[in-house]
Amino acid sequence: MSEARPSIAEAGERAPTDWRAAAMQRRLRRRYASERRFRLWGLAAVVISAAFLAFLLFTMAASGIGGFLRSEIALPIDLKSAALPVTPEQLRSRGADFALASAGLENFVGVAVVRAFGPEGGDLVADNAWTFVRDAVKRDPSLLGQRVTIWVPASSALEAGARGDGPAPMRALAARFKASGMLARGFDWAFLTGTDSTDPTAVGIWGGLKGSMFTMLVTLLIAFPVGVLSAIYLEEYAPRNRWTDLIEVSINNLAAVPSIIFGLLGLALFLNTLHLPRSAPLVGGLTLALMIMPVIVIASRNAIKAVPPSIRDAALGVGASKVQVIFHHILPLALPGVLTGTIIGMARALGETAPLLLIGMRAFIVAAPDTLTDPATVLPVQIFLWSDEVSRGFVEKTSAAIIVLLLFLLAMNGLAIYLRNRFETRW
Amino acid sequence: MNDLTALARNETAAGPPAQKISARNVNVYYGDKKAIDDVSIDVDRENVTAFIGPSGCGKSTFLRTLNRMNDTIPTARVEGEILLDGEDIYSPDMDVVQLRARVGMVFQKPNPFPKSIFENVAYGPRIHGLARNKADLGRIVEESLKRAGLWDEVKDRLADSGTALSGGQQQRLCIARAIAVDPEVILMDEPASALDPIATAKIEELIHELRGRYAIVIVTHNMQQAARVSQRTAFFHLGQMVEYGATSQIFTNPRQTRTKDYITGRYG
């Protein structure tokens, strides 16, 4: 360094700095190199995380897309010869399902399957194929007097064959049916409208989806107002003393408690003490609300703290009361931050499995819930349950359910971000 | 010498004053620290009163005791008696929200709400129920903006954000917002210190026009400004009120040496 900048002791007086000296040039080169290096590291970090995300989305889409499709096989059936003892009045009534079942439709469909596809034909159609015949008859009672062809879902073995999966004979059979136009693959609406089942070709996501919606609704209705009111009270009203410090520390710690602990709390409090119904979205929602409330409180307090004091002064200065200051000025300005905390909390609650297992939302439930107290399951638990199944058909359905969960998450966050941007104040 | 002619003008305007606010033996503490030491002062109804003094002398603190804005600071404590038209503003019977409507305030930094110009002015009348209907509210807003000398500049864009105005316009908007509540007293805490000279001149002109209708108390660290706008001046130093009198007397013939030293620029 001494060549560029001789010390004062040597020169007696400080010499003018030589900005073109070799040492200066070296320093300059090192500085540029370190800037370039840092930029590259940052870029690499972004590329790595984007690649992980792309990989996740791609594999999920690739293996899940098949879960939304279903192979159907054309079943020729002579309903006239069956001469089922049901009247058109019965078919229009609410007891139509029962009338057709007790008239022996299931057996007759079984016979038609054997007649059409041979003695092993039962392996080619799904177990619930007869319900599709039943629904077709209910839609159009005139079918009972005709010889018709009805499309029914293929069995999971034939389904796998149609995908080019599974044993060779089944693959060949599927190819033959396909060539003769008797096997077709289409969008599986029943997957979106159906509920859980033991047969992978018959499962649907609606039960889990509706359960998740109900649970999220309860969570939002409890956690949002309680969280925001706590934040307002702690920021605006509570005196600063040892007790409020203790509360603050407790809230920060609660936000970090593992979610399964909240499941135990929900089990002890809502089921064992308050005797609320097991497996219900109400209890699930309450449990998740306890879990995300600290997140909302912390985010809301920070948002309230960030409102400039000059606005508070201005409102107080024209004679606004404390409540008016809070609701007319502070809260509107803090709302974007409050909503950000709520989005983070709700997204976490939507993906939560562990606490819900403990309050019984992992039961096998074949009916979508109609009220908040009906037994239900939620999307992540449904995914967990299906991923545990041995039947190969469930692999695709699991991925499809994950896609539904991600879309739900996307829709929920999209709505919240839209709301946040609407409330954002432009200064 | 401009200042002296201003002083002369003010002198003739100063009639026999009736007191609007009288403070007696006021002490203000922040925790253990005494910020205001035994201040007694009368604020005239018809005149502009200026508080001058070096930074940290307590003039802003004292101003904020007059509409109890110090209540928002948890450690602040006020002793003594402050009467507004003979009513003790620190008595338990006094409603602090109504007090702040009667004693309006304009702050050092312009602080319009991040809302439209109209909403900024309409907010006070609306929360106090001063307008009978929408047309009435519109009239109040228009009148307040006119009185604050801002109407001609903003009448075509009342829906624009108040924060989009220039600094001087924002401060006049804040004055309009204070006027809209129809206060009896307006406290101004260094209202022009963040503004350029032209905007400052407009504010000072405005203070002249508002005088008589409202009792005005202005804190300033700019002695020329105090001389230009006020009829009465109080000099604060280290939490004490050193001297209080007619502005002309304080600036030309101060009785206390501390005042004289400050006026002549020895410190501050």
Domains of chain B listed by start with CATH number = 2-111+166-263 (3.40.50.300)
Q: Measure B103 CA to nearest chain A CA, in Å.
A: 8
Mean pLDDT along residues B113-134: 92
Query: Is A310's CB within 8 Å of B105's CB?
Result: no
Chosen domain end from A166, A193, A220? A193
Asked if the model's pLDDT at residue B62 lies above 90, the reply is yes
Same domain assignment for residues A276 and A415: yes
CB < 8 Å to A312, chain B? 72
Cβ burial, residue B91 (10 Å; 0-12/13-18/19+): exposed
Contact A70, A190 (CB under 8 A): yes
Same domain assignment for residues A170 and A235: no
CB < 8 Å to A320, chain B? 97, 123, 127
Per-residue confidence (pLDDT) for residue A168, from 0 to 100: 82
Query: Is B69's CB within 8 Å of A313's CB?
Result: yes
Same domain assignment for residues A87 and A176: yes
Per-residue confidence (pLDDT) for residue B9, from 0 to 100: 46
pLDDT above 70: percentage of residues in chain B: 93
Same domain assignment for residues A271 and A381: yes
What CA–CA distance (Å, rounded) separates B50 from B59?
10
> Helix A105-117 and helix A129-139: axis angle, to 10°?
110
Residues 6+ apart with CB under 8 A from B36: B26, B27, B28, B58, B61, B62, B65, B239
DSSP strand E in A132-217: where?
147-153, 183-187
Beta pairing class for B185-189 and B215-219:
parallel
Interface of B with A in 235-264 (CB under 8 A): none
CB < 8 Å to B97, chain A? 319-321
Q: Measure B228 CA to nearest chain A CA, in Å.
A: 26
Query: Is B100's CB within 8 Å of A324's CB?
Result: no
Per-residue confidence (pLDDT) for residue A364, from 0 to 100: 84
Same domain assignment for residues A91 and A167: yes
Q: Which residue in B74, B101, B163 is closest to A319 by CB distance?
A: B101
More confident residue, A124 or B182: B182
Asked if the model's pLDDT at residue B14 lies above 50, the reply is no
Cβ burial, residue B92 (10 Å; 0-12/13-18/19+): exposed
Chosen domain end from A151, A168, A193? A193
What CA–CA distance (Å, rounded) separates A419 from A406?
20
Same domain assignment for residues A236 and A368: yes
Q: Measure B119 CA to nearest chain A CA, in Å.
A: 12
User: Would an 8 Å CB–CB cutoff place B111 in contact with chain A?
Assistant: yes
Is the ipTM here above 0.90? no
Same domain assignment for residues A385 and A330: yes
Residues 6+ apart with CB under 8 A from A25: none
Interface of B with A in 154-173 (CB under 8 A): 161, 163
More confident residue, A96 or B140: B140
Per-residue confidence (pLDDT) for residue A4, from 0 to 100: 53
Per-residue confidence (pLDDT) for residue A287, from 0 to 100: 94
Per-residue confidence (pLDDT) for residue A71, from 0 to 100: 84
Q: Which residue in A310, A318, A328 is closest to B104 by CB distance?
A: A318
Asked if the model's pLDDT at residue B4 lies above 70, the reply is no
CB < 8 Å to A310, chain B? 107, 109, 111
Question: Residue A272 domain-assigned?
Answer: yes
Q: What is the pLDDT along chain A (427 residues), one digit of tens a residue?
A: 445 555 555 557 888 888 888 999 999 999 999 999 999 999 999 999 999 999 988 988 888 887 888 888 888 888 777 777 777 777 777 778 888 888 888 888 888 888 888 888 888 888 888 888 888 888 888 888 788 888 888 888 888 888 777 788 888 888 888 888 888 887 878 888 888 888 777 888 898 999 999 999 999 999 999 999 999 999 999 888 899 999 999 999 999 999 999 999 999 999 999 999 988 999 999 999 999 999 999 999 999 999 999 999 999 999 999 999 999 999 999 999 999 899 999 999 999 999 999 988 888 888 888 888 888 899 999 999 998 888 777 888 888 899 999 999 999 989 888 888 887 765 5
Take residue A28 and report the two structure tokens written for it.
């300059």
Q: Which residue in B161, B163, B177 is closest to A318 by CB distance?
A: B177
Interface size between A and B, measured as CB pairs under 8 A: 70
Question: Residue A12 domain-assigned?
Answer: no
Confidence grade of residue B7 (pLDDT, cut at 50, 70, 90):
very low
- The torsion defined by the Cα of A414, A417, A422 and A423, in degrees rounded to 10, comes to 150
Chosen domain end from A147, A167, A193? A193
Q: Measure A308 CA to nearest chain B CA, in Å.
A: 10
- The torsion defined by the Cα of A364, A367, A368 and A372, in degrees rounded to 10, comes to -80
Per-residue confidence (pLDDT) for residue A349, from 0 to 100: 93
What CA–CA distance (Å, rounded) separates A320 from A326?
9
What is the C-alpha radius of gyration for chain B, rounded to an integer number of angstroms?
18
More confident residue, A173 or B191: B191
What is the C-alpha radius of gyration for chain A, rounded to an integer number of angstroms?
32
Q: Which residue in B98, B161, B163 is closest to A319 by CB distance?
A: B98
Question: Residue A346 domain-assigned?
Answer: yes
Q: Measure B61 CA to nearest chain A CA, in Å.
A: 14
Contact B187, B63 (CB under 8 A): yes
Long-range Cβ contact pairs of A203-206 (< 8 A, separation 24 or more): A203/A386, A203/A394, A203/A397, A205/A379, A205/A382, A205/A400, A205/A401, A205/A404, A206/A368
Query: Is B111's CB within 8 Å of A314's CB?
Result: yes
Residues 6+ apart with CB under 8 A from B97: A319, A320, A321
Q: Which residue of A has its CA nearest to B71?
A: A316
CA nearest neighbour of A344 among A201, A237, A224 = A224
Question: Residue A144 domain-assigned?
Answer: yes
Same domain assignment for residues A273 and A131: no
Q: Which residue in A240, A308, A317 is closest to B105 by CB distance?
A: A317
Give the domain extent around A294: 206-423
Q: Which residue in B74, B97, B161 is closest to A321 by CB distance?
A: B97
| Tally of residues, chain A | 427
Average of per-residue pLDDT values in chain B: 88
Element spanning A405, H or E = helix A393-423
CA nearest neighbour of A75 among A125, A135, A123, A120 = A125
User: For the residues of A161-185, what is the DSSP string, one character each?
Assistant: HHTT-S-HHHHHHHHHHHHTT-EEE
**Disruptive mutation site among B60, B71, B100 for chain A (greatest number of A CBs within 10 Å):** B100
pLDDT above 90: percentage of residues in chain B: 62
Confidence grade of residue B246 (pLDDT, cut at 50, 70, 90):
very high
Question: Residue A45 domain-assigned?
Answer: no
CB < 8 Å to B113, chain A? 311, 314-315, 329
Same domain assignment for residues A316 and A226: yes
What CA–CA distance (Å, rounded) separates A415 from A208?
21
What CA–CA distance (Å, rounded) separates B79 from B37?
10
**Disruptive mutation site among B123, B130, B163, B188 for chain A (greatest number of A CBs within 10 Å):** B123
Confidence grade of residue B63 (pLDDT, cut at 50, 70, 90):
very high
What CA–CA distance (Å, rounded) separates A317 from A319?
5
* CATH number (domain holding residue A393): 1.10.3720.10
CB < 8 Å to A333, chain B? 114
Same domain assignment for residues A350 and A382: yes
Per-residue confidence (pLDDT) for residue A327, from 0 to 100: 93
Per-residue confidence (pLDDT) for residue A167, from 0 to 100: 81
Same domain assignment for residues A171 and A227: no
Same domain assignment for residues A122 and A261: no
Q: Measure A422 CA to nearest chain B CA, in Å.
A: 14
CB < 8 Å to B111, chain A? 308, 310-311, 313-314
**Domain count along chain A:** 2
